[in-house]
Structure 1
Amino acid sequence: MAPLPTGISVLDREFGGGIPSGSVVVLKADPASQSELILDRFARVRECRYLTTVRSVDAVEDSLTPDGEEDETVVRDAGGDDPVATVLDAAAELPDGGTVVVDSVEPLESEDRSDYGEFLGELRRHVNEADGLAVLHALKGDVPDRNRVVTEQVADVVFDLRTTVTGTEIANRLIVPKFRGGAALEEPLKLKLTDSVSVDTSRDIA
């Protein structure tokens, strides 16, 4: 399986060019974090079907499409009565090497466990056929969703973005505990998330 770039240069270097095609990726993050910047990189690096379950289509398009840049991202509302069907319909028409983003996955995780498992299996099949990627934005909460364990078990790659506030510093560390078909990171990556994604080279002060 050829690696597909993530759009984040530091991650692509760490992973030998990117993430194996056909992979299902889960990005876990706090709701108040800048995790959408990571989704933005995944969406912009190649053709993308972006399914939004909470934000409006206009809000997502405004955040993804900079002035003067041609956009290959198709944004659809998946917040209706049947988000599973909406996501699978978009995945079924995924172009070769394309990416499908689900932001966020919680409404789908509320499905019956067996139905949700079937959904993940069907999503993986579509992604495999297209040699593409699926990225599931999984927001953390005080009470874990009943199907979050299924999401993480099925996923090939798990990104865990941890945001902490200490004094005047906001620190973002990306942990990759799971990476099928490659090597998980041995240490957290400290990221700088402002209006883009880069490595934070500042030193931690104890």
Structure 2
Amino acid sequence: MIAIAGAKGGCGKTTTALGLADAFAQAGTPTVVVDADRQLPNLHVVAGIDREPTIAALASGATISDVAHQHPDTDDVAVLTAPKSSQTIDLQTVLDRLADEPVQVLIDCPSGAGPDVVEPVAAADRIVVVTSDTGRSADAAETTIDVARRLDVPVAGTVFVRCDSVPADLGSRFDAPTLGVVPDHESPLTADATKSAYDRLAGALTESRGNSNSTLPFQGERLVTGVDAIDRVLDGGVRPGSIVALCADPASASELVLSKLTATRGTLYLSTQRSKRTVRHALETSAFRVGSPTIRHLDGSVIEQATGLVTALPDGANLIVDAANDLERSDRGAYIDFLNGVKEHLLETNSVAVFHCLSGAREFESGSGSGSGFEHGHRLVTRHHADVVVELEAIDRETAIDHVLSVSKRRGERPPTEKVPLFPSNVA
């Protein structure tokens, strides 16, 4: 299920959705296009079909085949039109029903970045972001990518419409791959040049889907973390070369998890908030088996200090960054360069990095500057670069506190859906 989105109205989402639908159908994949725009629906107009019946009819017992409109020009393409303002529909229920159908589903999302966009994007397996070569459209595309990252929905890539080539000043602007371009034409759904472009885009999406669903290759066996619950849900541990984001509330016992990580192999422990002596004391007084990591305290230019230390990480080691928040407040470009450098070194040394991502009272902020969008700076960037995202939380059961974990991201694999106890018998 692919969401076709872009925060700017008129950027070409609907035309792209129908162009891709035709391309998938021509390649032998039946496709359904869903109009998820409740405010300014346009899919039925561009497709040249009646609006009635809308998907609202599904609430009164109609089947999908009863409601779906056959595209007048393309076999194996059906369209589900948006409900009228007087009609109500549970879009999530509709999309859940479509998920069980042997078809490719494309969701034509509304413009903007508000709640109406969140629902269809969150339901998708991945998202395609549509933009033109204007600055306003590019700004809107970045907003859409941010929304997808917050929802942990993979961004398949960007599509530049009404362009003969990728704009030189925009090709590397987005934190997402470029899928291709669609040239400008007065008849974009029927012209040979644009149809060929949509064929190439559909092929790129089919290829990337195959890659994302496959098991990523890696050298050697998985590396155990030493935390039984994590190793269990990750089928024995994490792959060498992985970045793990350990996202946790301060009351979630995450520091105990970090302590246990040091027992598995040689560890470089970078502390941004606690002194070296404080970290060492916490390890020495831990109730669990711990190791004897190399501890370094970062202050001042944390990115520069951390970069120098990471380059000396030996083969098969652990890197712990506790906490990542201070690094996330750095310049965005510098932080991205740092994460890419960490990833490259981890792959070279078959090591694993764990970024301790502490959460606060609120997740988002509306301020400006390098931390715009997140209370702790570029948390979105950390989660995007992470191969595994582990969520820790403390649940108050009135009579006891349960510490549980879940995996919300597992690159190349579908993450497990259940929450599991962090410590046996709630012993923390």
Scaled to the shorter chain, the TM-score interval is 0.7 to 0.9
Corresponding residue for 2:383?
152
| Alpha-carbon displacement from aligned partner over 1:132-154 (angstroms, at most 9, x marks no partner) | 00100000012432311111011
1:20-31 pair list within 5 angstroms: 20-31=239-250
Between stretches 20-29 and 139-148, larger displacement belongs to 139-148
- Which structure has the highest strand share of the two? 1
SS at match of 2:335: helix
1:164-179 pair list within 5 angstroms: 164-179=395-410
Cα distance, 1:191 vs structure 2: 2.0
Q: Distance in 1 between matches of 2:240 and 2:350?
A: 5
State TM-score, norm by structure 1.
Answer: 0.86
Q: Distance in 1 between matches of 2:377 and 2:301?
A: 19
Match of 2:260 among 41, 52, 62: 41
Amino acid at match of 1:73: P
Cα distance, 1:66 vs structure 2: 6.0
Corresponding residue for 1:191?
422
The question of whether the paired residues in 1 share the 8 Å contact of 2:303 and 2:334 is answered with: no
* Cα distance change of structure 1 residues 18 and 70 upon mapping to structure 2, 3 Å threshold: closer
- Which structure has the highest helix share of the two? 2
* Cα distance change of structure 1 residues 23 and 140 upon mapping to structure 2, 3 Å threshold: same
SS at match of 1:5: coil
Which ranges of structure 2 fall in alignment gaps of 5 or more residues?
Answer: 1-217, 363-374
Corresponding residue for 2:295?
75
1:94-113 pair list within 5 angstroms: 94-113=313-332
| Alpha-carbon displacement from aligned partner over 1:87-141 (angstroms, at most 9, x marks no partner) | 2222111111101100001111011111111111111111111110010000001
The question of whether the paired residues in 1 share the 8 Å contact of 2:246 and 2:357 is answered with: yes
Corresponding residue for 2:193?
none
Corresponding residue for 1:62?
281
Corresponding residue for 2:350?
131
Count of residue pairs the alignment pairs up: 194
Corresponding residue for 1:195?
none
Q: Distance in 2 between matches of 1:99 and 1:70?
A: 13
User: Which stretches of structure 1, 4 residues or more, deviate above 3 A after TM superposition?
Assistant: 69-72, 198-201
The question of whether the paired residues in 2 share the 8 Å contact of 1:20 and 1:181 is answered with: no
* Cα distance change of structure 1 residues 179 and 108 upon mapping to structure 2, 3 Å threshold: same
Cα distance, 1:84 vs structure 2: 1.1
Match of 1:51 among 270, 274, 280: 270
The question of whether the paired residues in 2 share the 8 Å contact of 1:6 and 1:12 is answered with: yes
Match of 1:121 among 312, 315, 340: 340
Structure number, greater radius of gyration? 2
| Alpha-carbon displacement from aligned partner over 1:141-177 (angstroms, at most 9, x marks no partner) | 1243231111101100001001122312111110101
* Cα distance change of structure 1 residues 113 and 100 upon mapping to structure 2, 3 Å threshold: same
Cα distance, 1:200 vs structure 2: 4.5
Greater RCO (CA < 8 Å, at least 6 residues apart): 1
Q: Distance in 1 between matches of 2:315 and 2:376?
A: 32
* Cα distance change of structure 1 residues 76 and 17 upon mapping to structure 2, 3 Å threshold: same
Please tell me whether residue 14 in structure 1 is matched to residue 233 in structure 2: yes
SS at match of 2:415: coil
Between stretches 43-52 and 33-42, larger displacement belongs to 33-42
The question of whether the paired residues in 1 share the 8 Å contact of 2:247 and 2:357 is answered with: yes
State TM-score, norm by structure 2.
Answer: 0.43
The question of whether the paired residues in 1 share the 8 Å contact of 2:401 and 2:426 is answered with: no
Amino acid at match of 1:132: S
SS at match of 1:16: coil
Amino acid at match of 2:293: T
